Structure 1
């Protein structure tokens, strides 16, 4: 039996766990020959289809999700035309809802799996060429070839999650990426109506000892970043503490976690404070800072607790915490989104990620879209187009605000000055966003230098008191001292003053000194020292006078 796995991702930076997770369960079957065809959604579908055709598979399997859905079907339709006898099977989050319409529309797909496929796929492999037995495979959905009747075998769940063979043991586990994913939990205690895991019970955990063994394997491969797949790592504070204690055993590895700030116990706060600097990257699911919005989404946890927890997390100097907002949630208005961004900037969130709501198959919110007054695209990625509270135009404004945040606040070079402007000037976000739209750059890729020039020119015109802070950010980022944001800096025949206050670094005569003199809004003189031998663009010395 020849199985071709079509590994179709949005970019080569990402890698799916699906293949090694499935293959590991049936790795000892000598009758199966596995082959992989890898591609991205930006490559020509015909080229990818040709690569599959050359292998003449009996079975083609792939994972279907939001951002590969369209291209995946283009590829598979071509392959089925070339190889009409091959069997095409799909799984993934796209099939958590009703799959009848999909199968009737895409007849070249023989069957799809709903739910957790490790056990079901292994069972289906034993009867893949005998459709009379397909009704016995949990989670499988297909059309009868004779009558075209739709068969739906429900939802597959792996109850003995800890008994599965680890995907790291599969020869197809991808060790070439700078990070790997480690699934420590299945299911979620929360009931978020927009999430495919909302209310997914029971919650199943791997024992700490088993997680340790898997991290050991990951460390042996030189991986230094692990994305822990656990919907809410701190839903159980005792287990969260055990995990943190485990992570301390691996100081060279950085762990990326999803955390619910409303559920932080005092004990867990103290444990987080003790974690080595840089060992944790936290994604705090906030979604909205308005109680009625969270209630409409059926998200557990009191808002005030979440705000206090998030403020605490963002205050920890040893941990980077990112916060998520979702535009398009029911009852969430555009002005409230702007307001929430300002609050999160005030907390000094590591990043502010503003996404548009997608109504995913199988979620309660998609099933209740009419009731909630949500209009959404029928095609992937199923983005919300309008709600009762936010218009299509306003949703586009929210999308553009997200672009602004990614270009400035979420960029290390410009975060400090962006945060200062957002928190101190209540109209900055609106005015700067309108400026970026008017000059036609909001949807354009821009270099860091171009972003800095635009911010400098805007502040010089509208917020002159921030001209010097933008210039300082420009200089310390190592940008050209010949460009406009640095036009005031003196680079020739500059010597040290009789007295200065050293901010960082150590002065010696071998440094090339530059002076940014004070102006009307900031009378402070700033001195920067640059290493001449190594020609570094960033200053290694800073002082004021």
Structure 2
């Protein structure tokens, strides 16, 4: 039996862990191939390539981002061949009756499939009766089999796919899991369906990670739901720091209530860009936290995050709009609470009622309306209206473009004194943005023009604010680009620039790492508020005009 393992990833740089595990389980026994495509590829092109492969069976790994395209591709394959189809993944592990009804799938694997896949293929090949936990199939128009959700209790049985360097693609994100499951039971999350955390042995993990580090992969993303719950996570961090290759960056999702002083202390010896953290705050409303089984008070979380910031590590934190008991006005407080931490990136997410989650099961209790197709995003509930949701969509766009990219950092900080709260500013800007620019393709320099237009319209074009906008523009753009802000430039004459460079030669070379005689090629000089600013590499150095006052 000739097999193909495949999945449609959301982008080329992503990989699907599940089919790589399956490949390592099956490769010694079966004629098996592995191919990964993306949701941007054309269905007919993928189908033709699979058809030309002459496969007897194709296994699809199906997720929220690829289910519709996967089902269309499966239908296409069934039209042009007699290939059998096996499917697994979160999107087919629930509502299996509906999946069978609207698809041409032959077999479904419910839950984690590593311990059942080989037995299933053996029975398909021998045309034997299938009676396996977590395997369903359709016979005579009826769904048959065992629907018990598969769980790999001993995660050491999961194949070690990164012990061989040929399995490591340096051009893609490398996904790695130390544990499965989550210690918490948040009602919006799929992890709440299965209690408990299963952790792989430290020796196995360290061997794989050493091989990954030796391969000098750019980014490793741990897929563990709460990395800092892993019993040996201290030893794991120390191992990564001690074996640092000066290249690899590790992305960790950590639980905010588990940020301890000991955990923070680990990173004081780390390379500045070796780690980045993703932290799911979700809400700071106590009633909401209780309703969704969320753990941890904001006061404790705030203390931990502020200490974590001192390490200089990139921090990305999430909020979810549409949770129970959180109105638009209450969400403002959650936003302002998070904003007060001044972390690197704020992600405004919108609640999705995922298959298998508790909130989806109880959606009628909260009067949820949500999209029936992926991504199952909430449209409204008892506390927020459709208008609230769409208003927040625009605010999310503004936060992403103007806060998260850090291209307007100084200007936004300067504007805080004109608004009662950070959310009020983003809400005000979003109202302007929706009228003129929302959903339009705006260039990077065009964002500065839009921001300047907003300042003028709101009569916020004060000198200090405009100075900050000039600083933000010049540290991120070349002055030669056409921009409305160019009329506020105060360009220095070349002779004055040369004198400034000569006076501050040592300071400039120490700051830039460039020989001062080449500095004009890589930098821009501007006079702002009586001082000379040198802009280079997204940063700037302030120089006094008079030699005696240089700093």
TM-score (norm 1): 0.89
Residue in 1 that maps onto 2:548: none
Indicate whether 1:24 and 2:29 are aligned. Answer: no
Q: In the alignment, does 2:252 pair up with 1:257?
A: yes
Who is 2:100 aligned against? 103
CA distance in structure 1 between the partners assigned to 2:413 and 2:127 by the alignment: 60
Deviation at 1:74, TM superposition (A): 1.0
Does the 8 A contact of 1:91 with 1:114 survive in 2? yes
1:53/1:79 contact within 8 Å kept: yes
Q: C-alpha distance in 2, partners of 1:473/1:271? A: 34
Match of 2:286 in 1: 291
Displacement, 1:369?
0.8
Does 2:238 match 1:245?
Answer: yes
* 2:477 paired residue number: 478
Residue number in structure 2 paired with 1:348: 342
Q: Which residue of 2 aligns with 1:309?
A: 304
Partner of 1:533: none
Q: For 1:401 and 1:503, how far apart are their aligned partners in 2?
A: 45
1:143-162: per-residue Cα shift (whole Å, max 9, x none)?
A: 2x235244333111111111
- State the 1:514 CA deviation: 6.5
Say whether 1:526 aligns with 2:526.
no
Aligned in 2, Cα 1:336/1:514: closer, same or farther, shift over 3 Å? same
Describe how 1:463-474 pairs up with structure 2 within 5 A: 463-465=460-462, 466-474=465-473
SS at match of 1:372: coil
Judged with a 3 Å threshold, the aligned counterparts in structure 2 of structure 1 residues 431 and 256 are, in CA distance, closer, same or farther, namely same
Aligned to 1:71, the other structure's residue is in SS state helix
SS at match of 1:409: helix
Match of 1:62 in 2: 60
Contact 1:3 1:34 in 2 (8 A): yes
Bigger mean CA offset, 411-420 vs 154-163: 411-420
Instruction: Summarize the Cα distance change of 1:498–1:157 in structure 2 as closer, same or farther, 3 Å threshold.
Output: closer
After superposition, the Cα gap between the structure-2 partners of 1:423 and 1:333, relative to the gap in structure 1 and judged at 3 Å, is farther
Instruction: Evaluate the alpha carbon distance shift between residue 420 and residue 356 of structure 1 in structure 2; reply closer, same or farther with a 3 A threshold.
Output: farther
Equivalent residue, structure 2, for 1:401: 395
Deviation, structure 1 residue 491: 3.9
Distance 1:133 1:167 in 2: 31
Q: For residues 299-323 of structure 1, what are the alpha-carbon distances to aligned partners after superposition, in whole Å with 9 as ceiling and x for unaligned?
A: 222333223223332x324311110
Superposition map of 1:81-120 within 5 A:
81-83=79-81, 85-106=82-103, 108-120=104-116
CA distance in 2, matches of 1:78, 1:389: 43
CA contact (8 A) 1:257 1:280 kept: yes
Secondary structure of 2:123's match?
A: coil
Cα offset for 1:282? 0.4
- How many residue pairs match? The answer is 526
Task: State the SS of the aligned residue for 1:289.
Answer: coil
Deviation at 1:329, TM superposition (A): 1.3
Separation in 1, partners of 2:166, 2:540: 46
SS, match of residue 251 in structure 2: strand
CA offset digits 1:164-208 (Å, max 9, x no partner): 221225798451434301110011101011111125233111222
Q: Assess if the C-alpha contact under 8 Å between 1:191 and 1:300 holds in 2.
A: no
Segment drifting more, 503-512 vs 291-300: 503-512
Structure-to-structure mapping, 1:331-410, within 5 angstroms: 331-410=325-404
Structure 1 residue 493: Cα displacement: 4.8
Partner Cα distance (1:170, 1:501) in 2: 53
Structure 2 counterpart SS, 1:281: strand
Instruction: State the Cα distance separating 1:297 from its structure 2 match.
Output: 1.2
Normalised by the length of structure 2, the TM-score is 0.88
Deviates more, 1:64-73 or 1:160-169: 160-169
Equivalent residue of 1:467, what SS? helix
Deviation at 1:480, TM superposition (A): 2.4
| Aligned 8 A contact 2:492 2:527 in 1 | no
Number of the residue aligned with 2:44: 46
C-alpha change, 1:423 and 1:170, in structure 2 (3 Å) is farther
Q: Which residue of 2 aligns with 1:78?
A: 76
1:274-305 residue CA offsets vs partner (Å, 9 max, x unmatched): 43322210001101121111111112223332
Q: Counterpart of 1:542 in 2: which secondary structure?
A: strand
Residue segments in structure 2 that go unaligned for 5+ positions in a row = 546-551
Aligned equivalent of 1:9: 9
Higher mean C-alpha displacement, 199-208 vs 53-62: 199-208
Q: Is the 8 A contact 2:410 2:469 kept in 1?
A: no
Alpha carbons of structure 1 residues 93 and 544: separation in structure 2 relative to 1, 3 Å = farther
Change in Cα spacing, 1:48 to 1:420, as seen in structure 2 (3 Å) is farther
The answer as to 2:226 corresponding to 1:232 is yes
| Correspondence for 1:122 | 118
Change beyond 3 A, Cα 1:129–1:146? farther
- Tell me if structure 1 keeps the 8 A contact 2:532–2:542: yes
Structure 1 alignment gaps of length 5 or more: 519-523, 531-535
Contact between 1:262 and 1:308, CA under 8 Å: does it hold in 2? no
User: 1:170, 1:124 → 2: CA distance?
Assistant: 27
Q: In structure 1, what is the equivalent of residue 200 of structure 2? A: 206
Report if the CA contact (8 A) 2:182-2:225 is conserved.
yes
Tell me, in whole angstroms, the C-alpha distance in 2 between the residues paired with 1:27 and 1:129.
15
Are 1:225 and 1:254, in contact at CA under 8 Å, matched by a contact in 2?
A: yes
> Which deviates more from structure 2 when the two are superposed, residues 460-469 or residues 353-362?
460-469
Taking the aligned partners of 1:544 and 1:3, their CA distance within structure 2 comes to 70
Evaluate the alpha carbon distance shift between residue 539 and residue 280 of structure 1 in structure 2; reply closer, same or farther with a 3 A threshold.
closer
Cα distance, 1:383 vs structure 2: 0.7
Could you tell me whether the CA contact under 8 Å between 1:282 and 1:321 is conserved in 2? Answer: yes
* Correspondence list, 1:270-285, <5 A: 270-285=265-280
Distance 1:364 1:492, change over 3 A: same
User: What is the alpha-carbon distance in structure 2 between the residues aligned to residue 445 and residue 270 of structure 1?
Assistant: 43
> How far apart are residue 542 of structure 1 and its match?
3.4
Higher relative helix content: 2
